[in-house]
Amino acid sequence: MLKETLRTHLGDLDPENLPEKRELAFFGGSFTGIPLERQKYLLSAVHPWVLSGEIQSIRVSTHALFIDDVRLSLLKRNHVETIELGIQSTDDDVLKLAGRECPFEVIQSAVDKIHAMKFRLGLQLMPGLPGDNEHKFQKSVENVISLNPDFVRIYPTLVIKNTGLFDMYKQGTYTPWSLERMIAAVKEAVVKFEDAGIKVIRVGLHPDPSLLENFVAGPIHPSFRYLVDSRIMRDRMIKMIRALEKTPLSVTFRVPARKVSLYIGHKKENLAFIKNIFDLSSINLQQDAEKDHLELVAS
């Protein structure tokens, strides 16, 4: 099945417009948690495409509980470059309620082994799990930063049919975070990661048909990353205005042309919000294709 899927997918690629890097990912579970013989089979099945150069690298998603020297050596021998750990949270109580108990010391040990063998490391967080709150989530963010991953993904917790969380939701023992609450928490996390030089390569789940068919409740939005980034830009404009000696009647910002929609905000909400809190007569944005940062040019 795997070989047939690869043949079909690679055969459909335009040879004159191939992606710069073609990577195979084993996602959707804990790859290193399956039996070693099964891991060997799956990895060996990819060998012909790796040797031919049609696939340049492999990444796997797994859990810190299934990381040790034997498993890592197998991955290293089989062209795996990136390991992503779904840690969800670093708070013991949150992980216990989610049925994913894993002491932070175990996560730290797994990360140290991954770093020692020079894999690229990605860590995945899931704010809004049972027992989670803003303080616990931001502490998890700080712990993740201390682990020095190459990148992170942030997946807001959603209630999906036929899951343990769905049962808790039906019983009234779990209430998902609102969209507004999740945006505010994730916005703060993204800023912290960026300040630490850690890339946030994914925010929010891809709204594929399967997800939408089974979605029950929670902070879902097709453009969740856009909403988060837009709030970050709004905060930066507000900070610049507040730094002025006195509140102006109007302001003009010069913004990167490729990011102008982020500064405007969803349905122009950023402009309306800033005008309202400062009682401005107008707020203007000048697009500049050469700029890569925000600049207050007139007030």
Domains and CATH numbers, the chain: 2-222 (3.80.30.10), 237-298 (3.40.1260.20)
Asked if residue 186 lies in contact with residue 141, where contact means CB atoms within 8 angstroms, the answer is no
Residue 54 has which token pair? 């049609």
> Are 144 and 197 spatial neighbours (Cβ–Cβ below 8 Å)?
no
pLDDT classification of 2: cutoffs 50, 70, 90 = low
Taking the CA of residue 88 as centre, how many other CA atoms within 13 Å lie in the half-sphere pointing to its CB?
23
Among 49-58, 77-86, 141-150, name the one with the lowest average pLDDT. Answer: 49-58
Please tell me the number of Cα atoms within 13 Å of 218 on its side-chain side: 28
pLDDT of residue 10 exceeding 70, the answer is no
* Helices 224-242 & 179-195 angle (0-180, nearest 10): 70
pLDDT by residue (tens digit) across 218-258? 999 999 999 999 999 999 999 999 999 898 999 999 999 99
Q: Which residues contact 250 (CB under 8 A, 6 or more apart)?
A: 280, 281, 282, 283, 284, 298, 299
What is the tens place of the pLDDT at every residue in 184-199?
A: 999 999 999 999 999 9
Question: pLDDT (tens digit, 9 = 90+) per residue, 16-32?
Answer: 555 567 889 998 889 99
Please give the model's pTM, rounded to 2 decimal places: 0.91
**Cα angle 12-41-78, degrees, rounded to a multiple of 5:** 80
Residue listed under structure tokens 């290193």: 32
118-143 tens-digit pLDDT: 999 999 999 999 999 999 999 999 99
